């Protein structure tokens, strides 16, 4: 269970919206930067902090539009994904990513180190990586993840399934717990 010490997100947001309270906003940033930056790292490890920073600046500007009907963290993920897409389009990075590949034809990567897991993840499509990160790393439901990524539920599920298949093909021999090697 996740316990929040101090004022709730909702109270802090109200202070920011009504009084432009930067201390309240700083508390929100400190509270959520870990999850937001971890998600940004999944999307683009090289520019993760810039993406996360852009997301928080967007949050500051548009905090009055947060409806409060879901978790603030989910809304921050949404802004992070949007910031990532904007940067990616600007840099035409999407043209450089690997196209849709049949999982069966993928050559497993050497996953002896953490960075190799990162390399395997980098071979997934942006949407697949984002969907896996939200559903498996951040623990969002499919519904929540679909809302964050602004896509229909069925599409989200397809990305999750395809991403899982690819990851399993790429990391076939990988044992994340290190138990099989023992």
Partner 1 sequence: MTDNHDERAFITAVLRADEAHLDDAGFTDRVLASLPRPRRRRRFTLRDAVIAAASVAAATAGAFASAHAGATVFVSVLPLAAIAALGIWGALASADA
- Which residues here bind partner 1, judged by CB under 8 A? 20, 22, 25-26, 29-30, 33-34, 37-38, 42, 49, 52-53, 56-57, 60-61, 114, 117-118, 121, 132-133, 136-137, 164, 167-168, 171, 174, 176-177
Residues in the chain: 182
Residues 146 and 157: their CA atoms lie apart, in Å, by 8
**Shorter beta-carbon distance to partner 1: residue 146 or 167:** 167
**Shorter beta-carbon distance to partner 1: residue 25 or 75:** 25
Structure tokens belonging to residue 159: 């990305």
> Distance from CA of residue 123 to its chain's centroid?
16
**Smallest distance, partner 1 to C-beta of residue 98, A:** 19
**Smallest distance, partner 1 to C-beta of residue 175, A:** 9
Residues in contact with 11: Cβ distance below 8 Å, sequence separation at least 6, in sequence order: none
**Smallest distance, partner 1 to C-beta of residue 19, A:** 9
**Shorter beta-carbon distance to partner 1: residue 41 or 147:** 41
Residues 138 and 28: their CA atoms lie apart, in Å, by 18
Q: Which of 42, 45, 76 is nearest to 58 (CA)?
A: 76
**Smallest distance, partner 1 to C-beta of residue 20, A:** 4
Residues in contact with 129: Cβ distance below 8 Å, sequence separation at least 6, in sequence order: 42, 43, 121, 122, 163
**Smallest distance, partner 1 to C-beta of residue 33, A:** 5
**Shorter beta-carbon distance to partner 1: residue 97 or 137:** 137
């Amino acid at each position: 269970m996740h316990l929040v010490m101090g004022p709730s997100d909702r109270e802090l947001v109200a202070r920011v919206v009504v009084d432009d309270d930067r201390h309240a906003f700083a508390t929100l940033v400190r509270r959520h930067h870990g999850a937001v930056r971890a998600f940004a790292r999944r999307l683009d490890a090289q520019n993760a902090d810039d993406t996360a920073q852009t997301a928080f600046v967007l949050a500051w500007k548009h905090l009055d539009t947060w409806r409060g009907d879901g978790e603030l963290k989910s809304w921050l993920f949404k802004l992070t994904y949007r910031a990532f897409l904007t940067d990616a389009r600007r840099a035409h990075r999407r043209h450089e990513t690997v196209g849709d590949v049949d999982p069966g034809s993928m050559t497993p990567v050497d996953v002896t180190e953490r960075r190799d897991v990162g390399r395997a993840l980098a071979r997934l499509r942006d949407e697949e990586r984002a969907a896996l990160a939200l559903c498996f790393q951040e623990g969002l439901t499919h519904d929540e993840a679909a809302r964050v990524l602004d896509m229909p539920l069925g599409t989200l599920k397809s990305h999750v399934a395809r991403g899982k298949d690819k990851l399993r093909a790429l990391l076939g021999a990988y044992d994340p717990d290190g138990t099989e090697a023992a």
